[in-house]
Structure 1
Amino acid sequence: MAVGENDLERMDQARLDMAARRELFEAARECTFLFLDAEGWPGGVTMSHLFHDEVFWLTAVSGRAHVVGAESDPRVGLVISSLGTDLPGRRMVRVRGRAAVHRDRETLDAVLPLFSARLQPAAPDRMHRLLNSANRVLIRVEPLSYPQTHDSRKISGDGRGGSAG
């Protein structure tokens, strides 16, 4: 019996392999960034991301809660889904990672142009002017593990019940 025909209890067969994760990282423009806030509560914000050289890059303004959280405790997470992409099926990955906040000009000069081209391919120079602000920081997230992933294409009926046909 195929996964998803009678129930959705055992989902281990519906995980994304690394090639499918990379495809999702490239197609999705946004993620949910997870961190601990100043009071120790879980926090999350939706942010644009860039996956480059096997790490994730996020950008924000210094002093925001998620920047402070990443500086206080570098254990962070990302949730990336296929919602809003052209990818078939429903895909999701949770990333467990270690964050480092960068303010140095060398890193900003290297990564912001890549970020600008990703966010605004038709006019990267205009996007770069917006991002290249006085209090701009980059958050580098090194992925440590992918504890949860999901690929509805591996489930009968695309995870909505019934047979695949």
Structure 2
Amino acid sequence: MRILKTMTAGAFACAVSLASMLHAQAQDAASLTAFDGVWSIDNIHSNWSDGKFPTGRMSLKIDVKFDNGHLVYHSKNDTMKNKPPMEVSFDAALDDKPYPVTGSSRYNFVRIRPIGHNEFVVLELKDQDVMVGALWTLSPDGKTLMRWGIGKSEKGVSKAYQEFFTRAS
């Protein structure tokens, strides 16, 4: 009988702990709406570990919207003035499962996972291969979005990056 009581108490404690964790994750996902808006890259503060960040030339805008447990994303990169802009879009649930991406030859799936009230993880995959792993963080005042990650080129060469964005709307 004592073993049964101990097992029941242990199961109850696990259930309470799991419910608490799920509630906290739901609160974190709900608070991510502070990221909503259009963001423009801040060329001065952004950098790549290989030293080849196109300072003064990088032209990237991202539109971020958290809606009903999903991240709806659209970006427009028109840094290369002699080529059409690259536009990437996806609609991904915050469940760390792969969702399709349109507009990118470098990756075709994305996985999103909230990890705090002002941050989440983004994995960009080419089929099952992780091409980019990034932490997105919002500044406490809500005016700066920072993406820190490591990306692998189509040639298999990796570099770290830190990109800062300012709110355009």
**Where on the TM-score scale, by shorter chain, does this alignment land: which range?**
under 0.3
Larger RCO, structure (CA 8 Å, separation 6 or more): 1
Of the two, which has the highest radius of gyration?
2
TM-score normalised by the chain length of structure 2: 0.26
**Which is strand-richer, 1 or 2?**
2
Structure 1 length-normalised TM: 0.27
